[in-house]
Structure 1
Amino acid sequence: MDVFDEKVIIVEGTTDKRKVKGIVKEPVEIICTNGTISITKLDELIDSLFYRDVYILVDADEAGEKLRKQFKREFPEAEHLYIDKMYKEVASAPEKHLASVLTGANIDVHTEYLEKRMS
């Protein structure tokens, strides 16, 4: 982890982190909230991320939406990335779907995930 990596992706769990890490090509810090996050912890996190590009990539379920609302309220500068609701979880979304979501946010991904994209 390098303090100078400008982009940070915040995910819920370690399986999400592993999945995203395998797709992303550029140096990006991936932070797990492990589901819920306390206001104190969130404030500390926001302070440490103030000058960086932050992306929120959480599950399309109740817990993920709750976390997303918390980030929208406490850290409105963060960019929110959305997976298709039919996949429900980041960890279960196909690599090509995640790759296209990440590419849409100008995050460099391994091209083999994009080549699998169906027309």
Structure 2
Amino acid sequence: MSLNEMERVIIVEGKSDKKKIETIVNEPVEIICTNGTISISMLDEMIERLYNKEVFILADSDAAGEKLRKQFRKEFPEAEHLYIDKMYREVATAPEQHIATVLLSANIDVNAKYL
């Protein structure tokens, strides 16, 4: 399976993050919400389910987001971490154009109206 055929997954913290990403992304991508925290057993299940998928972590630029990233770095080191500018703090409140640029930098197709 080539990278172009590989299923892609974006992991976000909350439902509002997921809704925002859904409007921007222009390709089939699964978006998973952790609801801010994730248990070890849930993380283990997720790792099994995401095996052989291209995984991106898009968390807020705050303490909770860093905690989540730290968990994923330890348990899922092959995931790619995407970062929003710290001035926006939260994915849900960041401008669509900024998020589109972040996603595009990871070669995720985005709706052109956000560029």
Instruction: Mark yes or no: TM-score above 0.5.
Output: yes
Distance 2:84 2:29 in 1: 19
Q: Could you say what secondary structure the match of 1:87 adopts?
A: coil
**Could you tell me which residue of structure 2 aligns to residue 44 of structure 1?**
45
Look up the match of 1:117.
none
Distance apart, 1:5 and its partner CA: 6.7
Identity between Structure 1 and Structure 2 (%): 68
Asked whether the 8 Å contact 1:8–1:30 carries over to 2, the reply is yes
Runs of 4+, deviation exceeding 2 Å: none
Residue of structure 1 equivalent to 2:57: 56
The 1-side partners of 2:44 and 2:90 are apart by 25
Equivalent residues of 2:37, 2:68 under 8 A apart? yes
TM-aligned CA deviation for residue 49 of structure 1: 0.3
Aligned to 1:15: 16
Q: Which blocks of at least 5 consecutive residues in structure 2 are unaligned?
A: none
Q: Which runs of 5+ in 1 are unaligned?
A: 115-119
SS in structure 2 at match of 1:25 = coil
Q: Distance in 2 between matches of 1:46 and 1:108?
A: 24
Distance 1:84 1:98 in 2: 9
Task: Report what 2:109 is aligned to.
Answer: 108
Count matched residues: 111
One-letter amino acid matched to 2:50: L
Output the CA distance in 1 between the equivalents of 2:69 and 2:94.
Answer: 18
Confirm or deny: 8 A CA contact 1:14 1:34 kept in the other structure: yes
Identify which range, 5-14 or 74-83, moves more after superposition.
Answer: 5-14
